Structure 1
Amino acid sequence: MTVREDDIRRPDGSTGIYGVVDKPEFALVIVADGDRLQLVEQFRYPVGERSWEFVQGTAPDRADVDAAELAVRELREETGLEAGSMVELGRLSLAPGLTSQRGRVFLATELREGPPQREHEEQDMRTEWFSREKFEQMIVSGEITDAPTIAAYGLLRLRGR
C-alpha cells in the first residue's frame, strides 16, 4: 500500500491536492451452495468491530497475480474450500474517491471441503452459512455493512443467480 498526494488542476483551472491510497487488486468470492451463502467474520481494525463479509483479499506480496488465481487462493486460505466452478461476475471500484483499488467478483460453487490456511491476522476469523433470506435481513438490519459484500451480492442478483 502506498499513500500519495497529487497536485491536480481542476476543469476550472484551479489547483489543489488529492490524496490517493494505492493498493493492489482484490478478489471477492461469493461462496454459494444452493440457497446458502458462506460468510467469514473477522475483526476489522479500522472500524473497530467484527464484520461479516464474503471471502476477499489481495496478494500484496504478488500484486501482479491473476484475479482468478487470487480468488482460488483466498477461498482456500479463509475457508478451506475448493470450488469445482469459479465464475467471474464483474468488477468493483472499492472507494474511487479515496483509493485506486479495484476488485473482481467471483461465484464459487461445486464445493469441496478442506482445512483453512489462514494468515496470522486472520486467526480469529470464523465462517458460517446463511440462507439468502437471512443474508438480506442482515444487510437491512445493519449487521452486514461491508460495501464490497453488498455490491457483490447486487452483481449476483443482477446476473440472475
Structure 2
Amino acid sequence: MHYTFTPLESWTERLYNHLSISTPEQLNMIDIAAKLQIWLHFADIESTAMDREGLYSLIIDRRLSKQQWEDFGHELCHLLRHAGNQMMLPDLMVELQESQANNFALHFCIPTFMLLKRPIPCLKREFIEDICTTFNVTYSFAEKRIEHFENQVMHFRFTEQINRLYLQQSLVGN
C-alpha cells in the first residue's frame, strides 16, 4: 500500500530512528526516557511533565496499568514539543496543547511506520485487539488510533483519485 506520512508521523519515525527503535518490542518507556535524558518517576499521582531549567522529568501514575504507556506518550509531547507552564497559559492555549498531546500520544505509542508492517485482519475488532496486545495500549486508545489511520488512508486515496481526475481533464483539455 502506498501511504503518505503526515509531518507528525515523519517526525515520530525520525525520533525512533534516532533512538534506534524499529519494532514494537523495543517500545519501553524506561529505555526511551533514559535515551532522551528524562528523569522518569512512578508515583500515586496523576501523570505530569516538568521542565526545570532544561532538566526534564516525567511522573507516571503507577496506579494505572496499560494506560501508563499512553500517559507517557502524552506527557512526552509536552516536554518535546511544547513550551511554557500550563498554569500560566491562557485556557485556549492549554486546550490546544492538550489536544496536540493526545494526538501525539496516538502516533508515538503506535507509530505509523510500525503499524504499516502489521498484518491487517478481516475484522476491525481483531485489528484493534492485535494493536492492544502488540503496543500494550487500551482498547479505546487502539480504536482511536485505527480511526486516525483509516482517515489518513482514505484521505490519501481520495487525493490520488482527485489528482488522477485533474490529470485526465488536463490531458483532454489540451
* TM-score, scaled relative to structure 2: 0.28
* TM-score, scaled relative to structure 1: 0.30
Which structure is higher in RCO with an 8 Å CA cutoff and minimum separation 6? 1
- Looking at secondary structure, tell me which structure has more strand per residue: 1
Q: Which entry has the higher C-alpha Rg, 1 or 2?
A: 2
- Looking at secondary structure, tell me which structure has more helix per residue: 2
